[in-house]
Chain A
Amino acid sequence: MEPDEIFRSIADVDGLKRGQYTPNNQGKYILDTNPSWPETVVNGLYVSDIRARIEEARRAVLAGQKSPLYYHMARRQMNTAILAKTVGMTVFRVKRHLRPEIFSKLKPSILDRYAHALVVSQEELKSV
């Protein structure tokens, strides 16, 4: 599907409309709620971009290149910097935990911190 079609299909489902100011026939400004075409295109692109990134992360995990933490981070639209701040660790440490062999040896207390930050259970965190 094309990006703007994807976007239109989601927008139809949730039915949420944004307001924007447009001049009416008399040139007076009013709040209009029809999305503009460029908005649907770039938003569609963004949404499909995120989906692609999550899917890519999932494949990397299944291929054994990355730990499941990488997938859950992508799912929450975070990067290592945001995740590190949220769990209160250094970026270096979080990046290290993205390696599967190191992630598999993590203590439950560390896993718990990640689970809390990403709002998943510990079991979910270990799988994709």
Chain B
Amino acid sequence: MKEATANKMNSEITVSGRTFIHQHAAHCESGVTAALFRDKGVKISEAMVFGVGSGMFFGHLPFIKWVGMPITTFRSRPRTLFPKVAKRLGGKFFTKEYRNAQKGMAALRNALSDGHIVGLTTNIYWLSYFPNRFRFQFNGHNIIALREIENGFRVSDPILDHPVDCSTEDLERARFARGPLEPKGFMYWVETVVENPDFRSACLAGMKESCYMMLKVPFPFIGIKGMRYLAKQIIKSPEKLGFPEACRRLANVVRMQEEVGTGGAGFRFMYAAFLQEAAELFGSDELAELSQEMTAIGDIWREFAVVSARVVKQRGQSEETFAKAGGLMLIPAGREEQLFKELYNLLRKLEK
């Protein structure tokens, strides 16, 4: 498997003459951030970025509707990962939003000719190099612009396994799309990095924030409380909303878990990969155990997805029910609560 990924690596020459190696990633934002830091010579993996930037999250927001469905999210708010990672690794970085599309595109051209590779927030629907099944109105997709070419830009999209061309018109539409969570031409790059960044303190800061977000936010829709809330909603949903609508809602939750961002309970597995790396970094067996526990939790999430998919697909013909799906969600809720409590206690020990 590893050889297969290595073969797929694609190198590109950037404006400044450096070689940029495109790597396939599981999640756009962490993939882009990792690639931007790698370009500056910091050896950092996608999972590490995800952990340091506190990407781990859960939230179910019933009062914010997105294409008619309540938002369920399995990761932190888009656009927060990059600044957090950059701050915690002690680098200097640039971020800016643009209101005017012409100015935004001109700024992108300037940045590219200055020799930066630039992270961009885009709307995934207008990026026509994607196949249709991926194209939906979602304003939080991240890509890297490498250099300008004739009638467009060479971009590295971490979801794809090779760099692609994107026309100027497409990119402009995608960067300045309107709607919920507008990208507003957001662009960012790393200016300078510290020679040997202190990964240990960065990891600790990242883990601490994740613990806080999962356990202690005094708000019933966020973290572990949010999981329990959503589980109850799922169990009640067929009576409350009627069967077809309940199915659509459940499918939406699974889609958010499986598709939007990563595949297959991906953020849990990615966090497990991060804990694994952190365990090596600190030489801590406790962290390694937590990583395994996180993998087990990810497996339950995947089982939840399978059961839900069966409920949705067979329209009540099978023995799988909403109650079972909701009940399955309570298990990872309990286990993640335990895990983050243990992690929180462990952090105090590691800080010494």
Contact = CB atoms under 8 A, between A and B. Distances in A.
Do A and B interact? yes
Contacts of A36: 258, 263-264, 302, 305
Interface of B is mostly: helix
A123 interface: no
Interface stretch (B192-200, B268-276, B329-337, B342-350): B268-276
B42 interface: no
Contacts, number: 136
B1 A30 contact: yes
Interface residues of B, number: 50
B2 interface: yes
A13 B136 CA distance: 18
Contact of B255 (A13, A21, A43, A50): A43
Contacts of B306: 37-38
Contacts of A77: 67, 125, 135-137
Interface stretch (B10-18, B213-221, B307-315): B307-315
Contact of B273 (A11, A21, A46): A21
Contacts of A23: 269, 272, 295
Nearest to A18: B263
A16 interface: yes
A104 interface: no
B159 interface: yes
Contacts of A31: 1, 5, 24-26
A67 B321 CA distance: 41
B266 A46 contact: no
Contacts of B173: 119
A35 B255 CA distance: 13
A21 B5 CA distance: 12
A76 interface: yes
A17 B132 CA distance: 13
Contact of B179 (A13, A19, A46, A85): A85
A99 B142 CA distance: 37
Interface stretch (A2-10, A58-66, A90-98, A106-114): A2-10
A52 to B, nearest CB: 12
A23 B288 CA distance: 13
A84 to B, nearest CB: 9
A33 B4 CA distance: 10
A82 B179 contact: yes
Contact of B258 (A39, A47, A49): A39
Contact of B264 (A2, A11, A29, A39): A39
A64 B259 CA distance: 37
Nearest to A87: B178
Contacts of B259: 39, 42-43, 46
A29 B269 contact: yes
Contact of B133 (A21, A43, A79, A81): A43
Interface of A: 2-4, 7, 10-11, 13-14, 16-24, 27-33, 35-39, 41-43, 45-47, 49-50, 76-79, 81-82, 85-86, 119
The 7 closest A-B pairs by CB, nearest first: A14-B131, A29-B273, A85-B178, A38-B305, A20-B263, A38-B309, A41-B309
